[in-house]
Structure 1
């Protein structure tokens, strides 16, 4: 059992991204109490912000330490696993993503003008609602709400405010969330190499250059974020509980 359990200040919180296009509600999992996080996520697939990026698949990635779970409540969700696309519906029950598998989630609707066809349950392609949850682990750098809260906020900077995406910032956040960007499968030992790059570039080099994985401005449980960063000599300087040394380029405020 994880040693990191604590009273969850996130329970009941709603995280809104893409100007309301994606809404994430933090919940108790309806039948698995041992999940480290559980969310009810709603994708409004025809929302202008969501529709604008619908044809752009998110990056493939993997989680070495955690199994991740997806269960569709309403609509459809595309899940790519090791190059194979699965379009999930409520009939599929809970879908498991094993540790180390290369995967990504995205909307099955890519054209806002098209009318969804072939769905015998009458789904119209307007929205998808699904449960997203994750296996507990003793690892401090893991998928949890501190990671997702900051990752959604950073995506808003890129998608909504037009900031240029910074690969080192992404790798810093992903590493602290127990996640690593996938390399092409033809690369020998691709997962091991990808994880190594994520640690070296995202944590070591990124930390030395002033990249931090979590930001006080975006984080509800700043104490937990600080405890996470204090486990790394490269992140300790960002863990001031009174103020955070946030990057001027990222947030537009003096460092």
Structure 2
């Protein structure tokens, strides 16, 4: 059992992270009843926002976290949580839902036609938005789910959805590995989770790092010192941990080939 890292002042507390031109809004909070969570967010999906509606039918990639439990609690509306191929549609009455380490999962809105599907619910939910708490277990792993990871991952998704950039699998694997996350392989593949984690490390961290891919970008990161300390833990990333000079307002260079 890993030992939780010592608590430090959280520079993210109260920060609002907006993605998809305001379609998804994440507010960093103290967890309301468990202060030992390494992160806690109040996430709002504005389901009728054009950017959210445009991707509503596209599910995010299946993935897993070897080191941490992740927790989801719906406050308003509905949220779909797919675990090992089984979809659970959660509402406010369902309480907190726990995602165990190593389970293949993804989160998404169950509503693709909000005007049509909202009528199916009997609690006066109008289908306008879904609000939920997302939080995670603490761990002494430096490559883990935390706000440094989510801040950069949201910004990268913005580049894809808003700017129309192509998804780069190596960039995704590089960022996911640094967030203690790995893209799932089909379950029929022998030792699929072990193989997926190995691919994430070898392709994302080792090969990606050698090719110049980095998991965190100063222009996207509030706690750049923590991001540098995380990257310094890997010989493949430490060259990106540059604390020198003033921060510049520039767009990160992402490899798209």
Once residues 166 and 114 of structure 1 are traced to their aligned partners in structure 2, the CA distance between those partners, rounded to angstroms, is: 34
Q: Aligned ranges for residues 43-192 of structure 1 at < 5 Å?
A: 43-192=45-194
3-state SS of 1:33 partner: coil
Structure 1 runs not aligned, ≥5 long = none
Q: Is the 8 A contact 1:15 1:149 kept in 2?
A: yes
CA offset at residue 249 of structure 1?
A: 4.2
State the match for 1:227 in structure 2: 229
Which sits farther off after the overlay, 186-195 or 118-127? 118-127
Once residues 15 and 247 of structure 1 are traced to their aligned partners in structure 2, the CA distance between those partners, rounded to angstroms, is: 18
Q: Summarize deviations over 1:50-77 as a string: whole Å, max 9, x none.
A: 0000000000000000000000000000
Structure 2 runs not aligned, ≥5 long = none
State the match for 2:23 in structure 1: 21
TM-score by length of 2: 0.94
CA offset at residue 6 of structure 1?
A: 1.4
CA offset at residue 140 of structure 1?
A: 0.3
3-state SS of 1:70 partner: strand
3-state SS of 1:204 partner: helix
Q: Is the 8 A contact 2:14 2:29 kept in 1?
A: yes
Once residues 5 and 36 of structure 2 are traced to their aligned partners in structure 1, the CA distance between those partners, rounded to angstroms, is: 12
Does 2:12 correspond to 1:7?
no
CA offset at residue 241 of structure 1?
A: 0.9
Number of equivalenced pairs: 251
Q: Is the 8 A contact 2:71 2:134 kept in 1?
A: yes
Q: Aligned ranges for residues 22-41 of structure 1 at < 5 Å?
A: 22-41=24-43
Q: Is the 8 A contact 2:31 2:37 kept in 1?
A: yes
Q: Is the 8 A contact 1:74 1:130 kept in 2?
A: yes
CA offset at residue 112 of structure 1?
A: 4.4
Q: Summarize deviations over 1:100-119 as a string: whole Å, max 9, x none.
A: 00000001111245251221
Does 2:215 correspond to 1:210?
no
Once residues 173 and 52 of structure 1 are traced to their aligned partners in structure 2, the CA distance between those partners, rounded to angstroms, is: 24
Q: Summarize deviations over 1:106-161 as a string: whole Å, max 9, x none.
A: 01111245251221111111100000000000000000000000000000000000
